[in-house]
Amino acid sequence: MKYYILFGPPGAGKGTQAGAMAEKFNLRHISTGELLRGEIAAGTPLGLKAKALIDDGNLVPDEVVEGMIEDKFNTVTGVDGFLLDGFPRTEAQAVVLDEILGRRGEALSGVISIMIPDSMVMDRIRHRAEIEGRADDARDEVIRHRIETYHSKTEPLIAFYKSSGRYTEVDGTGTVEEVRERIFSIMK
């Protein structure tokens, strides 16, 4: 099995590229946000625990998210691997992911980070806001905060994966097709 993590700042094209990556390489795309919503809607034990926490105004703890991901690894069939989007978000989660994969006799195949300059993040999110009518995304201070959050939360994790030799950056500038070809060449 292959196990990939997809990183990138807001507006880098993760959502656009994830579907193509999953289709081309027969991977199950796991977005933690979608996963949580799905588990809650399905009424699974983990979903019920997550819903109770969220309903009480609490964050879902790492172990619940980790349990949901491990459950997907154990129950999804007919794929050649998984593409994680939104997990791990911390070094502690990265260590747990390695432990989960180790129990399966597997290892992380790689981390692909779609990189674009902060100025392009601003432009792309503004453009997306116009297209989708999202006024909150049109405010520069909101976009800057998202960029700062990405750098403060993700950069330590990037360093963690760089040190293990499992991290590759992809130039996210250019057309969707050009970026996709760069990603596919890494995954082959």
Catalytic residue selected from 72, 128, 139, 162? 128
Tokens of 64: 């619940």
Asked if residue 40 lies in contact with residue 50, where contact means CB atoms within 8 angstroms, the answer is yes
Catalytic residue selected from 104, 134, 144, 153? 134
Asked if 24 is an active-site residue, the reply is no
Catalytic residue selected from 2, 89, 139, 162? 89
Asked if 14 is an active-site residue, the reply is yes
Asked if residue 26 lies in contact with residue 2, where contact means CB atoms within 8 angstroms, the answer is no
Asked if 128 is an active-site residue, the reply is yes
Helix (H) or strand (E) holding 115: strand 110-115
- CA dist., res. 73 & res. 108, Å (int): 13
Cis peptide before 156 (omega within 30 of 0): no
Give me the long-range contacts of 134-142 (CB less than 8 A, separation at least 24).
none
- CA dist., res. 30 & res. 22, Å (int): 10
Tokens of 55: 């309903």
Catalytic residue selected from 14, 49, 180, 182? 14
Catalytic residue selected from 72, 139, 146, 162? 146
Q: Which residues are catalytic?
A: 14, 89, 128, 134, 146
